[in-house]
Structure 1
Amino acid sequence: MNIAKNMEAIFVAALVVVSATSFATASAPAPRIHAPAAVQSGADANMTVVTVSAKRLSAAEKAELKG
């Protein structure tokens, strides 16, 4: 079977399948996803917090690190 000769038929068949699928799923209600109440209320008490306490490098130190 030569695909080049039948490209129009393949395209039309794919279009029919896509159209039928869109019509079949159009009447289905959209799923509603609700987040748990703990996430909606705010930050979790067990959330990890990282604090970095370091001094910034001066321009001379940055130049020294680059090479």
Structure 2
Amino acid sequence: MNVAKNMEFVFIAAVVVATSLANAFAAPAAPLELAATSAFVKAPAPEAPAITIVVVGKRLTAAQKAKRTV
């Protein structure tokens, strides 16, 4: 087997093995304990009126529809 021809496969295999070993020996993260309370109080959002969009246009006649589909 010519290693130079398969260098991409060797590299990918080495990355997979290294990642697997790193995950196998990694300790779980310690839970974060927050002792202080938050001083930030979120203000209520102001009520905004609903946005209405009106589309106005004329319907095409049968002749115009036929002309467009050709």
Give TM-score, length-normalised by structure 2.
Answer: 0.43
**Larger Rg, first or second structure (1 or 2):** 2
Higher helix proportion: 1
- Which fold has the larger relative contact order, with Cα–Cα distance below 8 Å and residues 6 or more apart in sequence? 1
Give TM-score, length-normalised by structure 1.
Answer: 0.44
